[in-house]
């Protein structure tokens, strides 16, 4: 995979969402940006959204909670618990949206570095196809992932300069 293009796959035969995106940065830096509130505030969420709450207890069994404020002032809260942490190569956690807590997913994210380029691969496993639909309806997941990852790319370039 070359370039910063986000690839999203939504298989028809299992309730998952998968994505891949390459970043021009070492895995340790991408992992830190993915998990450190100091960095998360600069990229997590679509453009125009502000991360007004960012709590991270990065340990197995620890939790996270992100509160995003949309341009219209509404707030969207996402939260979960960390299940596996293998710095800087793998992160497994639960993921839920406060507005639809019955849709809790299991997120697995890997950070594979090759020559200073890190390929981030994610897989969100939902309990049902209907739960997955909550996140894919209207392209919300795709837009959120794409814009967040573009913002992360910008942050990584700044951190390396």
Domain ranges of the chain: 7-45+84-160
65 close to 44: Cβ distance less than 8 angstroms:
no
Positions of the chain with pLDDT lower than 50, given as ranges: 1-2
- DSSP class of residue 34 equals H
How much of the chain is helix, strand and coil, in % rounded to 5?
A: 30, 45, 25
pTM: 0.93
**pLDDT at site 3:** 52
Question: What's 7-45+84-160's CATH class?
Answer: alpha beta
pLDDT of amino acid 135: 85
Give the number of other CB atoms < 10 A from CB of residue 128.
11
H-type alpha helices, the chain: 27-35, 37-43, 129-136, 140-160
């Amino acid at each position: 995979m070359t370039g910063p293009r986000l690839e999203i796959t939504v298989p028809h035969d299992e309730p998952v969402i998968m994505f891949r995106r390459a970043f021009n940065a070492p895995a340790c830096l991408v992992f830190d940006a993915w998990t450190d509130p100091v960095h998360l505030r600069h990229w997590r969420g679509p453009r125009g959204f502000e991360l007004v709450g960012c709590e991270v207890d990065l340990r197995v069994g620890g939790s996270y909670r992100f509160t995003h404020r949309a341009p219209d002032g509404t707030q969207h809260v996402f939260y979960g618990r960390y299940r596996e942490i293998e710095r800087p190569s793998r992160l497994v956690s639960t993921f839920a949206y406060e507005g639809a807590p019955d849709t809790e997913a299991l997120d697995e994210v890997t950070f594979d570095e090759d020559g200073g380029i890190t390929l981030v691969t994610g897989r969100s496993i939902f309990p049902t196809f209907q739960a997955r639909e909550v996140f894919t309806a209207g392209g919300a997941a795709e837009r959120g992932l794409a814009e967040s990852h573009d913002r992360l790319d910008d942050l990584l370039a700044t951190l390396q300069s």
